[in-house]
Homo-oligomer: A and B are copies of this chain.
Amino acid sequence: MSAFGFRLLGEDGQARLGQVQTAHGAIQTPAFMPVGTVGTVKAMMPESVASTGAEIILGNTYHLMLRPGADRVERFGGLHRFMNWPGPILTDSGGFQVMSLAKLRTMTEEGVTFQSHLDGSSHTLTPERSMEIQRRLDSDITMSFDECTAFPASEEVAAASMRLSMRWAKRSRAAFVERTGYGIFGIVQGSVYADLRVESVEALTAIGFDGYAVGGLAVGEGQDEMFRILSMTTPLLPAERPRYLMGVGKPADIVGGVLRGIDMFDCVMPTRSGRTGQAFTRRGTVNIRNARHQDDPRPLDEACGCPACRNYSRAYLHHLARAEEVLGLMLMTWHNLHYYQDLMRDLRGAIAEGRLARYAADFAALQALGDVAAL
């Protein structure tokens, strides 16, 4: 098994073409990671996820520690075997979801004690415990335990939160068990404050990680602010390590992130939106529940090769959504994941050929054109 690592294969402005090597295989970057919260990418067979072009998925430590439990997953040979996904898996640290989902949280320097949103049972997450859980899950890419700073936050609050995360990052790095092909990423915090972001990058690079994530964005600050922080943060990060923008985002956010040097993304948007009837297409979003689709023989996206677009009309997908049929969730999710992977493939191709700026301009123009205009 080869060591965990990142190869930079090309550049186009700030954007990068690369490859991340893990214990369970390689990932072409820029990459989008579908979210498989509790051990399943919702409404998808894992073979279908792979067929979209996805090479890595994300699992949620918070959800998995509560149900089915990290010990159980370990006894079943790790998350890959348990859920039948043989490829790479990245797990988050649990920090974000403790803040957004758990009840009765108590945070100290040591970590966070909280009650499960499922049954009220009490649990504790610390950097050391998060590392242990992610190891038991057999995660290829472990995320260091951090606090995702709430938004908005004063500079004082953001600084205190970021510095706590940096102390936790050091403890995470120390507790991470080195294994060939496995890596750990640090997470840059600092809210919208440039000086705090700089301080966070310096703290993390001093510790030294296999990759660096930008956290605490896409939490309400808006795309302009997000891009501003990204534009000043990514140039500070070591070029020889992968960069991951957590929880992002819409297609336009991803294009903007790639333009600013991001290599990896994850977001629930394609899966969650699919389940509510929203499709992402080359001409923007389509709400398939809208009555205007009920007699439309066209596919969701003429240029898409996914099963939903190859074999079904909008009228049929509209019917499934209105009838609340499971197949509707399946096909809409499949399409969205396929679209996202097509986008990443196109972005990689554009970087490889040095035409990313042109690609991004064409992308924006087509999205702005809108779906209705195509009627």
Contact = CB atoms under 8 A, between A and B. Distances in A.
Interface of A: 38-40, 42-45, 67-68, 72, 75-76, 82-84, 294-295, 297, 307, 311-313, 315-316, 319-320, 322-323, 325-327, 329-330
Contact of A320 (B40, B76, B322): B40
Given A40-B320, A68-B294, 4 more contacts: A38-B319, A44-B327, A72-B315, A82-B313
Please report whether the interface of chain A is mostly helix, strand, loop or mixed according to DSSP.
Answer: loop
Contacts of A82: 313, 315-316
- Counted per complex, copies of this chain come to 2
B43 A326 contact: yes
B67 A319 contact: yes
Contacts of A312: 84
A294 B326 CA distance: 25
A271 to B, nearest CB: 10
Given A326-B326, A330-B45, A330-B326, A295 B40 contact: no
A372 to B, nearest CB: 21
6 contacts: A39-B319, A40-B320, A42-B326, A326-B326, A326-B329, A330-B330
A294 B72 contact: yes
A114 to B, nearest CB: 19
B330 A297 contact: no
A323 B67 CA distance: 8
